[in-house]
């Protein structure tokens, strides 16, 4: 009777329910009563020991005269759930040299540990052993292996495992969809999601989270809308995490009003993440006043703001130029029990830098209670470029280099400061430094979705099948906007070339090509959405404002930093970005 009671107790124990002291008491009881000889009790004890303290589990295992496969498996599984999952893989290696070789369960536990530890190299080694042991056709092992590769970013191997599976379950589909979405392959993630539905699988909460993430990256509003309809039909909107990602998807696709509708009409209780996501959405769309208003409503609703809440509200101030409001928020943090971190200081520096108060921003960087990171210096360098402060840009650039940064953006910013001031010798010096350090400039590109297909453009692109029609449309656009007083802003062409060449260089920027394609490929009056990997240039901004008025189109541009919503000749940024 004692055996049944203790064994039942052990089986009910979880990794979180017992402390090491409790486990030692159980171990003592099993040892003194002789129950430690019985495999079920012993294996469960070993598993709990391994999850709590690897060294204690190792000591217990060593005292077993001839540990069997179940004993080893218990330790490997327990370690996989511990704070040091990599220890599980080490134990697996030791077991591989023991008389009792790993079985399919051992491999599964070790692979789960690899997934937690993102141990790609170890996973590939275990994969090789699976083949050697003849376990490669095991469905559960294939699913776990797929999950490891997907989480580790090895999407090619993940795809190969998926393709070779003779049997799949909802976990295998979800693992690859999530892996592709998180691994910057959103097109493939979305295509796999559609294929999954075509093959008769029913997406669950995890599936739609991956698919919505892909839509957010692509700005694929049409697909995101369809997924939202599915979510509501299947009552998946009762999951707050799903609603949070829907809000984020609509915001990143340019439809902040739809994001706000979802926020206002949620069937489930809002979490702090829900509030933060919506505040940040308003901030990225340049609606700083509403972002601050929602931040205040958050407190009134009994939700205590955290560091992310303050950062989101500060971003709203940055993008709307609300300097005094930003300072008020920043100064109120400590009183609300939130300690400012380097990101909050960076936001204040950005706030001042955008407003042209560069010396104040520089002073804050030098007086911070923590060491400024490279991103903060890069933020200040960008402000120097915007306001043409060459002397400060040189000082900040030296700081960036001292911190070991070797990214193209830092060199480009300094080069652009020199170019804007026509210091071409200095421009040449910076570009020579880039060449010597093998720093490659990131090419600018833009894309737009038409009919569910993503069309991508680079500057001066003639690879698109409709490039001649696109160029003709741009000529028409230029003719029409000139009648409204448009003059090319050639100061944005940072090369020492003639005026005519500068005007031609401006005419075929990637965002203009994407816009022109949208004009010829969508019905009149419908909105056009363009996504750009870099910041939109000032000339393109001026052109798109005029196009929105002349052609009666709402045009949404998402660049690297924020959204610009053009309508009737105006932009949501109020020309402040």
Mean pLDDT score, 230-238: 96
User: What length is written for the chain?
Assistant: 577
Q: Strands 570-571 and 563-567: what pairing? A: antiparallel
Sequential DSSP letters for 353-413: HHTT-HHHHHHHHHH-SS---HHHHHHHHHHHHHHT-HHHHHHHHHHHHHTT---HHHHHH
Angle between helices 358-367 and 342-354 (to 10 degrees): 160
Q: What is the model's pLDDT at position 510?
A: 93
Q: CB under 8 Å to 227, separation ≥6 — which residues?
A: 208, 211, 212, 215, 249
Q: What is the model's pLDDT at position 535?
A: 87
For residue 2, name the pLDDT band (cuts at 50, 70, 90).
Answer: very low
Q: How far apart are CA 557 and CA 536, in angstroms?
A: 8
DSSP state at residue 38: S
pTM above threshold 0.85: no
Q: Other C-beta atoms within 10 Å of 52: how many?
A: 22
Q: What is the model's pLDDT at position 68?
A: 83
Residue 4 has pLDDT above 60, yes or no: no
Tokens for 452? Answer: 């569910």
For residue 3, name the pLDDT band (cuts at 50, 70, 90).
Answer: very low
Q: CB under 8 Å to 344, separation ≥6 — which residues?
A: 307, 310, 311, 314, 330, 333
Mean pLDDT score, 420-446: 78
Q: Cα separations (Å) of 506 from 495, 526, 575, 577? A: 12, 26, 19, 20
Q: What is the model's pLDDT at position 557?
A: 94
**CA angle centred on 465, ends 459 and 470, rounded to 5°:** 55
For residue 519, name the pLDDT band (cuts at 50, 70, 90).
Answer: very high
Find, among 509, 507, 529, 510, the residue nearest to 519 by Cα.
Answer: 529
Beta strands in 176-239 (DSSP E): none
DSSP state at residue 552: T
Tokens for 358? Answer: 């560069």
Residue 54 has pLDDT above 80, yes or no: no
**CA angle centred on 12, ends 7 and 16, rounded to 5°:** 125
Sequential DSSP letters for 48-111: HHHHH-HHHHHHHHHTSSS--HHHHHHHHHHHHTSS-THHHHHHHHHHHTSSS---HHHHHHHH
Sign of torsion over alpha carbons 299, 262, 525, 190: positive
The rounded radius of gyration (Å) of the Cα atoms in the chain is 29
- The residue among 285 and 385 whose pLDDT is bigger is 285
Mean pLDDT score, 41-52: 75
For residue 249, name the pLDDT band (cuts at 50, 70, 90).
Answer: very high
DSSP state at residue 449: E
* Portion of the chain with pLDDT greater than 90, in percent: 51
Find, among 325, 305, 373, 376, the residue nearest to 347 by Cα.
Answer: 376
Q: CB under 8 Å to 99, separation ≥6 — which residues?
A: 66
For residue 205, name the pLDDT band (cuts at 50, 70, 90).
Answer: very high
CATH topology of domain 347-442: 1.25.40
Q: CB under 8 Å to 460, separation ≥6 — which residues?
A: 508
Q: Strands 453-458 and 445-450: what pairing? A: antiparallel
- CB of 209 within 8 A of CB of 242? yes
Bridge partners (DSSP) listed for residue 565: 556
Residue 270 has pLDDT above 50, yes or no: yes
Q: How far apart are CA 386 and CA 356, in angstroms?
A: 8
Based on the number of CB atoms within 10 Å of its own CB, is 156 exposed (0-12), middle (13-18) or buried (19 or more)?
exposed
Q: How far apart are CA 311 and CA 291, in angstroms?
A: 11
- CB of 470 within 8 A of CB of 517? yes
Residue 522 has pLDDT above 90, yes or no: yes
φ, ψ (nearest 5 deg) of residue 281? -60, -45
Q: Other C-beta atoms within 10 Å of 71: how many?
A: 21
Between 248-257, 424-433, 513-522, the lowest mean confidence (pLDDT) is in: 424-433
DSSP state at residue 193: H
Angle between helices 39-52 and 2-12 (to 10 degrees): 30
- From-to residues of CATH 1.25.40 in the chain: 347-442
For residue 25, name the pLDDT band (cuts at 50, 70, 90).
Answer: low
The per-residue pLDDT for range 542-573, each reduced to its tens digit, is 999 999 999 999 999 999 888 999 999 999 88
Most confident stretch, 4-8, 37-41, 232-236? 232-236
Based on the number of CB atoms within 10 Å of its own CB, is 430 exposed (0-12), middle (13-18) or buried (19 or more)?
buried
Q: How far apart are CA 180 and CA 189, in angstroms?
A: 5
Mean pLDDT score, 109-127: 90
Sign of torsion over alpha carbons 245, 246, 250, 251: negative
For residue 496, name the pLDDT band (cuts at 50, 70, 90).
Answer: very low
The per-residue pLDDT for range 122-173, each reduced to its tens digit, is 999 989 888 888 887 788 889 999 999 999 889 999 999 999 998 899 989 9
Q: CB under 8 Å to 398, separation ≥6 — which residues?
A: none
Q: How far apart are CA 1 and CA 168, in angstroms?
A: 43
For residue 19, name the pLDDT band (cuts at 50, 70, 90).
Answer: low
How many CA atoms are closer than 13 Å to the CA of 159, on its beta-carbon side? Answer: 11
Q: CB under 8 Å to 552, separation ≥6 — which residues?
A: 524, 525
């Amino acid at each position: 009777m004692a055996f049944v009671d203790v064994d039942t107790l052990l089986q009910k124990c979880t990794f979180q329910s017992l402390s090491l002291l409790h486990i030692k008491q159980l171990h003592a009881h099993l040892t003194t009563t002789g129950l430690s000889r019985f495999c079920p009790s012993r294996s469960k004890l070993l598993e709990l020991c391994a999850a709590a303290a690897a060294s204690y589990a190792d000591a217990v295992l060593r005292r077993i005269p001839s540990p069997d496969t179940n004993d080893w498996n218990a330790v490997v599984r327990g370690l996989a759930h511990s704070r040091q999952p990599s220890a599980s893989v080490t134990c697996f290696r030791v077991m591989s040299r023991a008389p009792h070789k790993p079985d399919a369960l051992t491999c599964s536990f070790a692979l789960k540990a690899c997934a937690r530890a993102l141990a790609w190299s170890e996973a590939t080694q275990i994969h090789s052993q699976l083949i050697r042991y003849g376990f490669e056709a095991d469905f559960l092992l294939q699913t776990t292996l797929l999950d490891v590769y997907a989480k580790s970013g090895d999407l090619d191997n993940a795809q190969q495992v998926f393709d070779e599976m003779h049997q799949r379950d909802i976990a295998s589909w979800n693992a690859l969809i999530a892996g592709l979405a998180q691994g910057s392959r959103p097109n493939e993630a979305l295509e796999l999601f559609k294929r999954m539905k075509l093959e008769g699988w029913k997406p669950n909460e995890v599936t739609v989270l991956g698919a919505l993430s892909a839509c957010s990256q692509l700005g694929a509003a049409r697909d995101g809308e369809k997924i939202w309809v599915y979510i509501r039909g299947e009552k998946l909107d009762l999951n707050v995490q799903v609603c949070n990602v829907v809000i984020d998807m609509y915001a990143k696709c340019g439809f902040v009003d739809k994001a706000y509708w979802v926020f206002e009409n949620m069937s489930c209780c809002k979490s702090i993440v829900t509030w933060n996501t919506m505040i940040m959405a308003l901030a990225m769309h340049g609606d700083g006043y509403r972002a601050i208003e929602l931040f205040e409503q958050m407190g009134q609703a009994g939700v205590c703001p955290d560091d992310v809440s303050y950062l989101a509200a500060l971003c709203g101030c940055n993008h709307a130029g609300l300097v005094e409001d930003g300072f008020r928020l920043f100064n109120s943090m400590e009183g609300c029990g939130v300690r400012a971190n380097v990101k909050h200081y960076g936001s204040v520096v950005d706030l001042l830098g955008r407003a042209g108060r560069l010396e104040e921003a520089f002073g804050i960087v030098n007086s911070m209670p923590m060491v400024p990171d490279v991103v903060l210096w890069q933020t200040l360098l960008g402000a120097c470029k915007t306001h043409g402060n060459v002397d400060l840009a040189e000082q900040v650039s030296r700081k960036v280099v001292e911190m070991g940064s070797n990214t193209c953006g830092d060199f480009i910013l300094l080069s652009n400061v020199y170019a804007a001031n026509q210091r071409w010798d200095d421009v040449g010096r910076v570009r020579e430094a880039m060449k010597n350090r093998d720093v490659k400039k990131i090419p600018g590109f833009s894309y737009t979705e038409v009919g569910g297909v993503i069309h991508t453009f680079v500057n001066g692109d003639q690879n698109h099948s409709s490039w001649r029609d696109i160029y003709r449309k741009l000529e028409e656009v230029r003719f029409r906007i000139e009648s409204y007083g448009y003059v090319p802003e050639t100061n944005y062409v940072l090369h020492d070339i003639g005026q005519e060449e500068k005007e031609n260089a401006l005419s075929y920027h990637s965002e203009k090509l994407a816009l022109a394609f949208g004009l010829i490929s969508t019905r009149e009056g419908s909105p056009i959405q363009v996504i750009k990997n870099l910041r939109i240039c000032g000339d393109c901004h001026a052109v798109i404002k005029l196009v929105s008025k002349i052609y009666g189109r709402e045009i949404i541009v998402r660049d690297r930093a924020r959204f610009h919503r053009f309508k009737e000749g105006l932009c949501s940024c109020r020309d402040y970005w």
